[in-house]
Amino acid sequence: MQASDGSWATDRRRPSAEASESPTGVSGGCHGAPCDLVTVPARQGLEAVDILRRGAGEAPSVGPVVLDGTCDNLAFLVPPGTAAAWDMPGSACTETAGRGLRVPAEPPVTGGAWLLPPDAGTGQVTDPEVLRVALGEAARLIEAADGRR
C-alpha cells in the first residue's frame, strides 16, 4: 500500500546517518566471503527477518543480521557489489571498504550485536533480490498496521 502522497510509509523512516556510513570496528579475524551491508530501520528489518525465516525451505534465506548499538537499525550482510545497484527506498547499502568486508566473527558495527550470527564461517549472506522482496512486504505490513491505529 502507498501513502496518500504516493510514497511508501518506510520512505520517511530512513536508517540513521551513522548506520549508513562504512562500518568501523571490524575484527581482524574475518572469515568467509566478502559482503556489503544493507541497513534498514529496526522495525522494517525485524519484519523482513520474520518473512525470510518463514519462507525458508531447506536452505536458509537470510544470512547474518546485525542490530546496531542503539537498536534503531538492522544491517543485513549481502554479497559484495550489491551497493552499486541498490535503490530500495527507506534503506541504505554500504560498500564496505570499497571491496566488501569479510564476514567477521564479531558484528561489523561498533556497539552492535548479532541478531542472526554468521553460520560457522560458511560465508552465507542474504540474497539481495530475496531481501528486496521481503523488505517490500515488510513495508506493506507496517503501513497496513499503522493505518489501522
At 137 the pLDDT is 95
At 59 the pLDDT is 63
27-32, long-range: CB < 8 A, 24+ apart: 27/104, 27/105, 27/106, 29/104, 29/105, 30/101, 30/102, 30/103, 30/104, 30/105, 31/102, 31/103, 31/104, 31/105, 31/118, 31/121, 31/123, 32/102, 32/103, 32/118, 32/121, 32/122, 32/123, 32/124
At 122 the pLDDT is 61
At 6 the pLDDT is 34
Contact 97, 37 (CB under 8 A): no
User: 4 pLDDT exceeds 50?
Assistant: no
Contact 63, 19 (CB under 8 A): no
CA distance 119 to 93: 22
CA distance 136 to 145: 14
CA distance 31 to 9: 37
User: 102 pLDDT exceeds 90?
Assistant: no
* Residue carrying the nine cell digits 547499502: 93
At 147 the pLDDT is 84
Higher pLDDT, 39 or 110: 39
User: 100 pLDDT exceeds 70?
Assistant: no
The mean per-residue pLDDT over the stretch 67-80 comes to: 91
The mean per-residue pLDDT over the stretch 70-90 comes to: 92
Instruction: State whether residue 72 is helix, strand or coil.
Output: coil
Mean residue pLDDT across the chain: 74
Query: Nearest to residue 65, comparing CAs of 29, 39, 99?
Result: 39
- The pTM assigned to this predicted structure is 0.72
**What residue type is assigned to position 66 of the chain?**
V
The mean per-residue pLDDT over the stretch 47-59 comes to: 81
At 101 the pLDDT is 57
User: 58 pLDDT exceeds 50?
Assistant: yes
